[in-house]
Amino acid sequence: MDKLLLIDDEADMLYSFRRIFPATELDLITASSGEEGLRLIPQVHPDLVLMDVRLGGLSGLETLRRIRQIDARLPVILMTAYGTTQTAIEAMKLGAFDYLLKPFEVPRLKEIVFGALRAARAMRQVVSYQPLLDQEDFELGIVGRSPAMQEVFKRIGQLAASDATALITGESGTGKELVARAIYHHSRRSQQPFLAVNCAALPEPLLESELFGHEKGAFTGATSQRIGRFEQCHQGTLFLDEIGDLSLATQTKMLRVLQSGTFERVGGNQTLQANVRVIAATNQDLEQAVAERRFREDLFYRLNVVRLRLPPLRERPGDVALLVNYFLGKFAQDHAQRPKSLSADALAMLERYRWPGNVRELENAIEHATVVAKGEAILLEDLPAEVTQPSATHRPSAAAAPDAPPRSAPEAAPAAASPSPDLASLASALFQWARQDPRRRIIDAVERELVLHALRETRGNQVQAARLLGMTRATLRKRIERFHIKADLHLS
Ligand SMILES: Nc1ncnc2c1ncn2[C@@H]1O[C@H](COP(=O)(O)OP(=O)(O)OP(=O)(O)O)[C@@H](O)[C@H]1O
Ligand SMILES: [Mg+2]
């Protein structure tokens, strides 16, 4: 459960928070001063801090400054009363996540708190782009083994090693945001914040103020100064989603901030500087938008320096089985159940479908099937109707028509058929050998042999051995330790 640290010296507040956030929703930890809060952070590792700006002892701003030194990614929301708003604005410049005016309405409070917790999770949950095959240490990852995805992984590695602006393009649901997070997590800014702005979600004036901030009185309704994301995200990474939807006027400001790092708040004349790494994404065809003069050519070239194209799922049907396995594991973990298996005809159907909604649609289909399947296995009839009876527009191509003979399932397919006779006799021999706790002992023994084998094959090169085994190098190291494999083993 998420942990919220509340720093406030008023006992009343603590009581009302306990009522607003019942123990089933949040783990609430309280501190009555900045000093106490700072002491608690390294002990309890909260996911979010809510703090009054006015505190006895160490001030709210100073507490915030020190929290940022301990962990720049820990979101801090300031609570302010009438008259202390200016302090809250100062706090935003220091990188506070948001602020709340007292007295606050419970729905607004919950919206901000849960929004910040989502952002915190996105900053912490490392997205791996190494092959993930160990269901046991379930990790959030980018799954795929097709040549097109190998290119994607290479690009992620290059982009993570650089600080250049990145442009990610691809159809809806292909994983653009996931890739942006992987780049961030493996970049040198990974200990700094990651904030996301959806450029299509706000009308132009509001979007500009979201990105660059505004001065008091900049427009009707601008009753106080506001700090924008570029300023707030100093040293961090800003994910600009749907960049193809920017208006021409905002594109001009965007070009400038990308080129020189400078901008002004809306209605302001002070030039500000921000050191922010931008990762932009779009599902639009930007070349087309440039041709139609909806997108500035110079901004396009500025963004297009390093482009990462995500292939649609229908171009890599070989990845479907891997993704299915991954999502079965993920839902099982979410519901603390054993992963279900998938019948061979259901998998064949999934591999033939065209997936207009790409990986997101596949993820939803597997979730649907997991919920409706009555037994241990997901059958054809458990799949959503769109998949089993695609409408005319989504009809698979003639080459892969539903009546075509099913392709043989790739090796990673969830085992539906019984194992081959060899495996069956091997299993019975292994059971003979390990009578107590057979599953654990057999898996460990086999895995140890696999690790040894891979190390011998690669003459002890752990990077290559990990790749061969389809595990991360960290996992390989853990196995070497767990199985007491000597690093200097005689490799013959
Ligand atoms: N290769 C992949 N491996 C595992 N999960 C993936 C992969 N690609 C996408 N997903 C999952 O699919 C869902 C959609 O991905 P994401 O939100 O990154 O797509 P998107 O390209 O940003 O889509 P949109 O254009 O609609 O915003 C997410 O739940 C994501 O975790
Ligand atoms: Mg997206």
CATH annotation of 147-309:
3.40.50.300
Domain with CATH 3.40.50.300 in the chain: 147-309
User: Which residues have a beta carbon within 5 Å of ligand 2, which is an ion?
Assistant: 177
User: Confidence band (pLDDT; 50, 70, 90) for 391?
Assistant: low
The Å distance, Cα 177 to ligand 2 centre, comes to 5
Q: Is 56 or 233 the better-scoring residue by pLDDT?
A: 233
The rounded distance, in Å, linking the Cα atoms of 460 and 488 is 8
Residue 420: band (very low, low, confident or very high) from pLDDT cuts 50, 70, 90: low
Say how many Å lie between the CA of residue 282 and the centre of ligand 1.
13
Distance CA 263, CA 227 (A): 12
**pLDDT at res. 418:** 44
pLDDT band of residue 389 (cuts 50, 70, 90) is confident
CA-nearest residue, atom 10 of ligand 1: 175
Say which CATH class 313-400 falls into: mainly alpha
Distance 279 CA to ligand 2 centre (A): 12
Predicted pLDDT at 410 = 39
More confident residue, 277 or 203: 277
CB proximity list for 440: less than 8 A, separation 6 or greater: none
Question: Which listed CATH number (3.20.20.70, 3.40.50.2300, 1.10.620.20, 3.40.50.720) goes with 3-122?
Answer: 3.40.50.2300
* Over residues 320-342, mean pLDDT: 87
pLDDT for 402 beyond 70:
no
DSSP sequence for 387-414: HHS--GGGPPPGGG-TTSPPPPPPTTSP
Closest residue (by CA) to atom 15 of ligand 1? 175
For residue 81, is pLDDT > 60?
yes
Spatial CB neighbours of 73, under 8 Å, sequence gap ≥ 6: 120, 123, 124, 191, 192, 193, 194
Spatial separation of the C-alpha atoms in residues 300 and 429, rounded to whole Å: 63
Q: How far is CA 144 from CA 112, 358, 489, in A?
A: 35, 13, 33
Q: Where in the chain is the domain with CATH 1.10.8.60?
A: 313-400
Residue-wise burial string across 153-172, b where 16 or more C-beta atoms lie within 10 A, e elsewhere: bebbeebbeeeebbbbbbbe
Average pLDDT score, the chain = 86
| pLDDT tens readout for residues 110-120 | 999 999 999 99
Alpha carbon nearest to ligand 1 atom 29, residue: 360
- Nearest ligand, CA 358: 1
Q: Measuring from each residue's beta carbon to the nearest atom of ligand 1, which residues come in under 6 Å?
A: 142-144, 170, 172-178, 283, 323, 326, 359-360, 363
The answer on pLDDT for 196 being more than 50 is: yes
Name the closest ligand to CA 359: 1
pLDDT at 332: 85
242 alpha carbon to ligand 1 midpoint, in Å?
Answer: 14
**Which residues make beta-bridge pairs with 29?**
5
Specify the CATH class of 421-482 in words.
mainly alpha
Q: Which atom of ligand 1 is nearest to the CA of 310?
A: 21
Q: Where in the chain is the domain with CATH 3.40.50.2300?
A: 3-122
Give the ligand 1 atom nearest the CA of 172: 25
Q: Has residue 424 got a pLDDT over 90?
A: no
CATH 1.10.10.60 domain extents, the chain? 421-482
C-alpha 175 to ligand 2 mean position (Å): 7
Distance CA 441, CA 471 (A): 20
Quote the ligand 1 centre to 332 CA distance (angstroms): 19
| 484 or 234, higher pLDDT | 234
pLDDT at 134 over 70: no
Strand locations in 18-66 (E): 27-31, 48-52
Could you tell me how far CA 140 lies from the centroid of its own chain?
Answer: 8
Specify the pLDDT at position 87. Answer: 84
Q: What is the pLDDT of residue 75?
A: 96
